[in-house]
Structure 1
Amino acid sequence: MRKRLGLLFAAGMAAAVASATALPAVASPSDTTAPLTSLLITKSHLIATSRTAAASQVTLDCEPTGGTHPTAQAACDALIAVNGDFAKLPPATGVFCLAVWDPVTVSVTGVWRQKPVTFTRTYSNDCDAAVSSDNVFRF
């Protein structure tokens, strides 16, 4: 009897572990909780004194809005206005940057409304990256 209970306990534990470690299901296009847009945005610049690169990253989800971007809703609104075309983002108004050469390269990968998207551009400095992208690259 003890041996049988031990076998049943072991089988139950194995089933529990198997279900707990199963991979999560991939969201389908009809799943309303999955964002239509999911982006990884990376900014990197060369630190002149050490000649090393420093980078920062955020995620941006749109429709519904989420991710780690500090102003996700405003960034999504700006991208929706240009149908996800990063090259067409208008400059932010009322903000001006100093003419300082401290280049920043912005890279975007992910999906825009379920279509693959990539974008890379080098800006003269961090302020220029933010202002030139209607603050989408301000983080």
Structure 2
Amino acid sequence: MIPLRIRAALAAASLTVLAFPAPAQAEPGVYHLNLTVTDQSGRTTARAELDCHPVGGSHPMAAEACQALDRVDGDPSRLTPQAGVDCYQLYRPVTGSATGEWNGWPVRWQMESGNDCKLRVATYPVFSF
């Protein structure tokens, strides 16, 4: 037989676990990103929605972008830059942003780049819109 003190301690521990649920995760299986490019002044210069599994949204290369993101588990910072493309050297800074969910996990990502060409090459094909 378990002593009363131990049963009381176990009951209290159980209530504590119930009172503090695990951190929230978005709905599993959701693959949706809002992609934006903003200029130095903060003005949005390009925008696309990307849905994967199934592929959709306003992104012109949605299937390719979804495949690229699948290879890196939805982490844009792990994308492989496009090979063989030279960008012009004009300094016109832009920021690429991705927000949304990938397989139910929140995505909040930003990258600053010297110009829009360099952003597209670094994140190909995700920011190719």
- TM-score, structure 2 length as denominator? 0.73
1:42, CA displacement in angstroms? 0.7
Aligned length: 103
Match of 1:135 among 114, 121, 125: 125
Q: What's 2:101 paired with?
A: 111
Any residues of structure 2 matched to 1:1-139 within 5 Å, and which? 36-46=30-40, 53-139=43-129
Conserved in 2, the CA contact under 8 Å of 1:82 and 1:89?
yes
Deviation by residue 1:4-50 (Cα, 9 ceiling, x = unmatched) = xxxxxxxxxxxxxxxxxxxxxxxx75xxxxx630010010113xxxx
Q: Quick one: percent identity of the two aligned structures? A: 39
Computed over aligned residues only, the root mean square deviation of the Cα atoms, in angstroms, reads 1.7
Q: Structure 1 pair 62/55, CA: closer, same or farther in 2 (3 Å)?
A: same
Structure 2 unaligned segments of length 5 or more: list them.
Answer: 1-26
Bigger shift: residues 94-103 or 58-67: 94-103
Q: Output the amino acid matched with 1:128.
A: K
- TM-score, structure 1 length as denominator? 0.68
Aligned-partner Cα distance in 1 for 2:43–2:86: 25
Deviation by residue 1:91-114 (Cα, 9 ceiling, x = unmatched) = 012211112211110111100011
